[in-house]
């Protein structure tokens, strides 16, 4: 599934922090995760693929990897 986490403080987005809402906590935790492809934070307002929560990644990174059938051949 592809999802986008709205920025904190926007409509549909989590609180800025310090709240006890499960939904806000989950959103902040996901945004603070590292992309399993590029290693950057998943962040806000960016399409994310989280089919496997342990391997969440930017949708753009997943597409890039899928477009490279054999990454090891690039070396
Ligand atoms: Zn909240
Ligand atoms: Zn990425």
* Total domains present in the chain: 1
Ligand that comes closest to the CA of residue 49 = 2
Ligand that comes closest to the CA of residue 17 = 1
Flag whether pLDDT at 24 surpasses 60: yes
Confidence of residue 23 (pLDDT cuts 50, 70, 90): very high
Q: What is the DSSP string of 29-70?
A: HHHTSBPTTT-SB--SSSEEE-SSGGG-EEHHHHHHHHH-S-
| % of the chain at pLDDT higher than 70 | 92
Q: What residues make up the domain containing 28?
A: 2-74
Ligand that comes closest to the CA of residue 13 = 1
What are 27-36's pLDDT values in tens digits? Answer: 999 999 999 9
Flag whether pLDDT at 75 surpasses 60: no
d(CA 9, ligand 2 centre) in Å: 24
**Which whole number is the average pLDDT over 13-27?**
93
* pTM above threshold 0.75: yes
């Amino acid at each position: 599934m592809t999802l986008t986490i709205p920025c904190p403080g926007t409509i549909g987005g989590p609180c800025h922090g310090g709240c006890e809402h499960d939904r806000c906590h989950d959103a902040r935790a996901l945004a603070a995760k590292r992309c399993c492809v590029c290693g950057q934070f998943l962040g806000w307002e960016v399409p994310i693929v989280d089919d496997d929560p342990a391997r969440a990644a930017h949708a753009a990174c997943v597409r890039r990897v899928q477009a490279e059938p054999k990454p090891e051949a690039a070396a």
